[in-house]
Structure 1
Amino acid sequence: MSLRSLSPLDGRYVDQVKLLSAYFSEWALIKYRIYVEVEWLITMAERPEITHVRSFTADETEQLRSLVIDFDDEQAQQVKDIEKTTRHDVKAAEYYIKEKIKDTSLDEISESVHFCCTSEDINNLAYALMLRDGIQQEWLPQAQALVDAVADLAGNTADLPMMSHTHGQPATPSTVGKEMAVFVARWQRQFSQIERAEYMGKFNGAVGNYNAHVVTYPDIPWEAVARHLIEDRLGLTFNPLTTQIEPHDYMAELFHMLMRFNTILLDFDRDMWSYISLGYFRQKVIKTEVGSSIMPHKVNPIDFENSEANVGVGNALLDHLASKLQASRQQRDLTDSSALRNVGTAIGHSLLAIQSSLRGVGRVEVDEESLKRNLDDAWEVLAEAIQMVMRKAGHDNPYEQMKTLTRGQTITQETMEAFIRDLDLPDADKIRLLSLTPSAYIGLATDLVQHIR
């Protein structure tokens, strides 16, 4: 960690997000560019109709792919040194490859590196690969870990009654598990969409028409060649109709999916913060930690607060990228290039938010006594059930009667039981109401948790 880092992702939080650097750093971008260039060379060598690129031996193919496999910081610095002269990052990667195959058996095909390519042919595929690998290898596993942890909490507390709150006021009881399960179900829906996300690519030249390709080799099915490279070689989805740039619509779709997952996380963080404040959850005390520089007793819900803050930063960036990247003047302007360099930052803050919340979940435990006390003091919540039974029995104005009895009043068990006994109800209904307590008034909450299993 550098104490002079501008971004907290590269400073305070670097240990938590450092694995993302393999996918979203400058080093990663250079590596993925070289990967695309190499696979394009190999693709051309496998097509006899591209006559100026001979077929490669197995050793030559391995030599080319080793440029990617063995890529390290020293190699990346070589590319950056070339860029100081070219002032063009993709051209620097091209010259780097040419330099690496110089004085080898591949030297004769040196001018086939970057053949018929505009920089965006390389960049759009590099970014698609970076996004796909970063999301699938790092973001999704962490998101799944959070969903699993909350699902476990839901299962373990499926039948544990708790007071609900609507508008911040006591409301019909639920269970801790059911309320946790709501978040799990919401996350699972977004998660499945993110898992199925498409990562699209184009490889069609300067303005998307294969102009130079057709002049150079008029009879080659260039769309099929591009599709083979993108889908069969790189595992992406071929976009056949673009300008110079792949229009980034799939990125906007992906970023909106991530934003929805993050916003559900924000909702979860705020609810957990509130439940801790209400005493529903206790935070585990770590002896060596400090909660306040002046108030020794404090144990603060900092993990959920940290998560909430990082959701805000991440979603702000994702929202900007989703709207910015879809707009590019005419066949292309360069605004997407600068914007795309912030993708890793946006995903980094999202990942940090997930990790913080996951840590928070691991450091809380349910306070069953507090939950019970809270319900035992809220007999007024049974007014809903009583007035419904009164409606069933044909009573006049049951809602108004219960409103007069309970609204703004302190209601005890004795008060409620006396009211029920005076009601003209069938014996079975009256017995059921007299046996009802706030803790027992949870409907199907326990059974509903099964929907996440």
Structure 2
Amino acid sequence: TFGFAMAEYVSRLGARIELVSKFSQELRGKIAGAVGAYNASSLFFEDPEDFEAEVLKELGLKPANYSNQIVEPEYLTDYIHSIISAFGVLANLADDIRHLQRTEIGEVGEAFEATQVGSSTMPHKRNPWNFEHIKSMWKEFMPRMITLYADQISEHQRDLTNSASGRFVPEIVVGFVAAVDRMTQVLKKLVVDQERMSKNFDTTKEMVIAEPIYILLASLNHPNAHEAVRLLTLESQKTGRTLRELLNDQAELAPYLSKLTLKQKEILNNPQKYIGHAEQKTEQVCNEWEKRLGL
């Protein structure tokens, strides 16, 4: 179901949100002097570490466990990694929705205002430009994570090779926040075409039952269930007859089919009901993350 497909992103983004929150709280600072040993501050304070903690508290930071001329880089590296990881999930969602808006699929898409221009040259087009923008932003910022990893290396307490690259780190955060805001706004107005979803499903629904047929036959000790069903699918594609029609014509399968329960027969006769626990799982995932994130 479409809801089950979206539950994937509820779960993935929920876990990323927790990770970003965790590492944002682990960012550290220092007021420990040029080499991190409190040389200068110890001239004025009996306990320079208390002074450091008091100053950093005003900035919403904790003191680093250790510092020299710089704070241990892993605090920032982990934080930006959590953001880039979340950005990747966001880009994946944008890409999925963008493909579902393709003309030949057309199941969901961005809301299109009456005055909105879809293409500069083709007036009829409705480009999924917001989703494309999010993926494009991810492509810009994701490779910058390599620079954060490179900046973990600092020769002899600091060699200044991160002084320029470090200045661009805030852009990653700003880019991510902008993408989150854009995704939030466009998803609020997402258009879902249930009729088109049903039509798309109807084009392949007869083949959907190939899996449950094979599994049920195997469970009833058919000696070669997978091959039997595979051959039937080939015949269906060749003759145009439905898989269910061909199934009922197979005398050698009749003894197995007669042992099916009413529920199992119902699924074979109504492929749209072959959704397992998709609905329950979707609700479970959404309820869990609503609770965990306090929504």
Same fold (TM over 0.5): yes
The separation in 1 between residues aligned to 2:177 and 2:257, in whole angstroms, is 57
RMSD: 2.3
Aligned-pair CA distance for 1:267: 1.0
**Aligned-residue offset at 1:446:** 0.5
Q: Shift of the alpha carbon at 1:326?
A: 1.8
Report SS of the residue matched to 2:142. Answer: helix
5+ residue gaps, structure 1, are 1-174
* 1:264 lines up with 2:93 in the alignment: no
User: Letter of the aligned partner of 2:34 in structure 1?
Assistant: A
The answer on whether the counterparts of 1:420 and 1:434 sit within 8 Å (CA) in structure 2 is no
1:321 Cα deviation after fit: 4.1
Aligned to 2:286: 452
Q: Take 1:345 and 1:408, find their aligned partners in 2: how far apart are those partners?
A: 57
Instruction: Determine whether 1:402 maps to 2:236.
Output: no
Among candidates 36, 45, 66, match of residue 241 of structure 1: 66
2 CA distance for matches of 1:400 and 1:196? 51
**Residue number in structure 2 paired with 1:203:** 31
Displacement after TM superposition at 1:264 (Å): 0.6
- Match for residue 337 of structure 1? 163
Superposed, 1:93-242 pairs within 5 Å as 175-197=1-23, 198-214=26-42, 216-217=43-44, 220-231=46-57, 233-242=58-67
2:128 corresponds to 1:297: no
Residue 244 of structure 2 corresponds to 416
- Please name the residue that 2:256 is paired with: 425
Give secondary structure in 1 for the equivalent of 2:18.
helix
Match of 1:440 among 253, 258, 273: 273
1:383 equivalenced with 2:210 (yes/no): yes
Show the counterpart of 1:372: 198
Q: Distance in 2 between matches of 1:407 and 1:326?
A: 57
Report what 2:290 is aligned to: none
On the 8 A contact 1:202/1:240 being kept in 2, the answer is no
Aligned residues: 275
AA paired with 2:197? L
Q: Say which of 114, 137, 160 aligns to 1:310.
A: 137
Equivalent pair of 1:230/1:237 in contact (CA under 8 Å): yes
Aligned equivalents of 2:186 and 2:124: distance in 1? 19
Contact 1:285/1:299, CA 8 A, preserved across alignment: yes
Residue identity in the other structure for 1:211:
N
Question: Whole-Å Cα distance in 1 between the matches of residues 234 and 169 of structure 2?
Answer: 52
2:191 partner SS: strand
3-state SS of paired residue (1:352): helix
Shift of residue 430, structure 1, vs aligned partner: 5.9
User: Quick one: which amino acid aligns to residue 205 of structure 1?
Assistant: G
Q: For 1:407 and 1:413, locate their aligned partners in 2 and report how far apart those are by CA, in whole Å.
A: 10
| Structure 2 residue 156 is matched with structure 1 residue 323 | no
Deviations 1:318-344 (A, max 9, x none): x04421332222121223332222122
Q: Output the CA distance in 1 between the equivalents of 2:112 and 2:51.
A: 61
Tell me the CA shift for residue 384 of structure 1. 0.6
Q: Give the letter aligned to residue 90 of structure 2.
A: L
Alpha carbons 1:247, 1:325 under 8 Å: kept: no
In the other structure, the counterpart of 1:22 is: none
Larger radius of gyration between Structure 1 and Structure 2: 1
- Whether the 8 Å contact between 1:420 and 1:430 is mirrored in structure 2 is no
Q: Residue 211 of structure 1: SS of its match in structure 2?
A: coil
Structure 2 gap segments, 5+ residues each: 288-295
How far apart are the structure 2 equivalents of 1:315 and 1:247? Answer: 22
Corresponding residue for residue 276 of structure 1: 101
Q: How many angstroms does 1:183 deviate by?
A: 0.5
Task: Give the SS at the match of 1:256.
Answer: helix
Q: Equivalents in 2 of 1:291, 1:205: separation in Å?
A: 57
Answer whether contact 1:252 1:321 (CA < 8 A) is retained. Answer: no
Cα deviation digits, residues 179-226 of structure 1 (max 9, x gap): 101101101011012112211011111111122334x35x81222332
Q: CA deviation at 1:371?
A: 1.1
Contact kept in structure 2, 1:208 and 1:243, CA below 8 Å: yes
Report the Cα offset of residue 413 of structure 1.
7.5
Q: CA 1:266 to 1:251, structure 2 compared with 1: closer, same or farther past 3 Å?
A: same
Q: Is the 8 A contact 1:417 1:434 kept in 2?
A: no
